[in-house]
Amino acid sequence: MSKEPLYLFDTTLRDGAQTAGIEFSLEDKISIARLLEELGVDYIEGGYPGANPVDTEFFEQKRTKTAKFTAFGMTKRAGRSAANDPGVQALLNSAAEAVCFVAKTWDNQVKVALEITLDENLGNLRDTVAAAVASGKEALVDCEHFFDGFKANPDYALSCVKTALDAGARWVVLCDTNGGTMPSEVTLIVNSVLAIAPGSHLGIHAHDDTGQAVANTLAAVEAGVRQIQGTLNGIGERCGNANLVTLIPTLVLKPYYAERFETGIDAAHLERITQISRAFDDRLNRAPLRQAPYVGRSAFATKAGIHASALLKDFSSYEHVPPESVGNERSIMVSQQAGKSNLLTALARHGIKLSKDDPQLERLLATVKDRESRGYSYDGADASFAVLAHEVLGTLPEYFLVENYRASVERRHNAQGEEVTVTEAVVKIRVAGELLMSVAEGNGPINALDLALRKDLGKYSSRIEDLELVDFKVRILDGGTGAVTRVLVESRDGTGERWYTIGVSPNIIDASFEALYESITYKLLKTETAQGTN
């Protein structure tokens, strides 16, 4: 039996932008679209051209290579033609290949919110879709409040679906806008829609207000719907949208679905999904949810107890899928075996060769575990890992010693009575016995420390000339009074290589300084190797 195609439609950049606390910049949108293409979705809905400057600019050019670049907007207003509706024209003149129009399908909403007749609403829908198709765009229709609308007036809800398809829409998407529908209701209602429309033209758009967005989506797919709308990590208004990062592995790995459906996601895409999910949270500066299905740090973690010993006998009984299939890792406190081989791989990446039985390996593993328990995370800070490894193995040259440093920020009024902030840092280091003291001003204490630290490294100065600080991220771990700050610094040099270092401390300045210090040490280490081979 040949498999039926399922289409994945991502709305992170549109419906996801409704998430409380999230405001995407143009750079965010461009970078997230890249992540989504890496993930392998079929449609990327990028926003609402014409509605705000960021979205308008985002749609000035095509931003995707393989996924269909999709704009979102409203159908035309009553009383004017699609050609005379500036909203519709902004969509049709954008660089989008597809346009998703939202239409009301709940009779009462048409009357109360739009204040037009039911027929006018159908006419707006028909004319808008026809105009989009005539302009060469693929047309999709999001049926807002479809499930509530169907319960209130099934005939009218169905006539919206039919009108959209007759006018040439490629997809009609059934939206559970307020997120209150149960999976069994989805099954029943989708079955009614299938009586008048083919599943190959129907989509599902679910929200998580009862914690069932994923289940509602799968219920619709089982009933016959063939397009899935969702977002990265389930972001979205209120409780969020259906989480594509959860749905995709289920569709690809569970025989129940994999035997019947095919998506554009292959095994290589899937192995990247944990990293993509975390990179997205990084972009939003959110801590990844540990409990997240498939990709969470705890998703394959087992605490000691009755499971652990059984787990050692047979992983598969306590893991519903293999963690490596989604690029995640098993973590069991009692087994260090997995840890050792990971560590050997990481060391080899930095040109350090140890045998599996080397007692130094055990010591390094213990150090890494201890530091990770205190908030370090070497996953994203490979350069800090290299520095730590050389330190534990006793192969780190003593480049320079920091005797002391000081950073101060002062806000006061200047002679003209204007408020000014003066930030200054002083760093005292010892290089080959010589004491060097530098001072610098910056636009913040970390900037000032960075400038002062790199100002004079004595005989090493020439080796860090092309070192550049690219980015700087701060995360507060475990909130509240016992909080620890984790700082991640991204650096780059003339060779184009980028590296990441980490610092952890209750004091944000100490944590930042540690990450800056390790970045310089890493840069010296890598030029060491280059010089050593001369």
Token readout for 297 is 């740090």
Q: At closest approach, how far in Å is the CB of 228 from a second copy? A: 14
Q: At closest approach, how far in Å is the CB of 412 from a second copy? A: 4
* Beta carbon nearer to a second copy, 155 or 410: 410
* Beta carbon nearer to a second copy, 169 or 311: 311
* Beta carbon nearer to a second copy, 291 or 395: 291
Cα distance between residue 92 and residue 86, in whole Å: 10
* Beta carbon nearer to a second copy, 163 or 177: 177
Is residue 31 within 8 A of residue 253, CB to CB? The reply is no
* Beta carbon nearer to a second copy, 127 or 490: 490
* Beta carbon nearer to a second copy, 211 or 394: 211
Task: Give the helix/strand (H/E) hosting 35.
Answer: helix 26-39
* Beta carbon nearer to a second copy, 227 or 241: 241
CA 381 to chain centre: 18
* Beta carbon nearer to a second copy, 53 or 136: 53
Q: At closest approach, how far in Å is the CB of 418 from a second copy? A: 12
Burial of residue 175 (CB within 10 Å: 0-12, 13-18, 19+) is buried
Q: At closest approach, how far in Å is the CB of 11 from a second copy? A: 13
Q: At closest approach, how far in Å is the CB of 155 from a second copy? A: 19
* Beta carbon nearer to a second copy, 78 or 483: 483
Q: At closest approach, how far in Å is the CB of 260 from a second copy? A: 12
Q: What is the DSSP string of 162-190?
A: HHHHHTT-SEEEEE-TTS---HHHHHHHH
Q: Cβ–Cβ contacts within 10 Å for residue 511, how many?
A: 24
Is residue 296 within 8 A of residue 281, CB to CB? The reply is no
Cα distance between residue 277 and residue 274, in whole Å: 5
Q: At closest approach, how far in Å is the CB of 531 from a second copy? A: 29
Token readout for 249 is 């592995």
Q: At closest approach, how far in Å is the CB of 120 from a second copy? A: 17
Which residues, at least 6 apart from 362, have a Cβ–Cβ distance to it below 8 Å?
336
Per-residue HEC secondary structure of 404-431 comes to EEEEEEEEEECCCCCEEEEEEEEEEEEE
Closest among 47, 21, 18 to 32, alpha carbons compared: 47
Which residues, at least 6 apart from 53, have a Cβ–Cβ distance to it below 8 Å?
none
Q: At closest approach, how far in Å is the CB of 528 from a second copy? A: 26
Catalogue the long-range contacts made by 501-507 (C-beta closer than 8 Å, 24 or more residues apart): 501/381, 501/383, 501/384, 501/387, 502/376, 502/377, 502/378, 502/380, 502/381, 502/384, 504/371, 504/374, 504/375, 504/376, 504/477
First-last CA distance in the chain: 62
* Beta carbon nearer to a second copy, 111 or 354: 111
Q: At closest approach, how far in Å is the CB of 331 from a second copy? A: 8
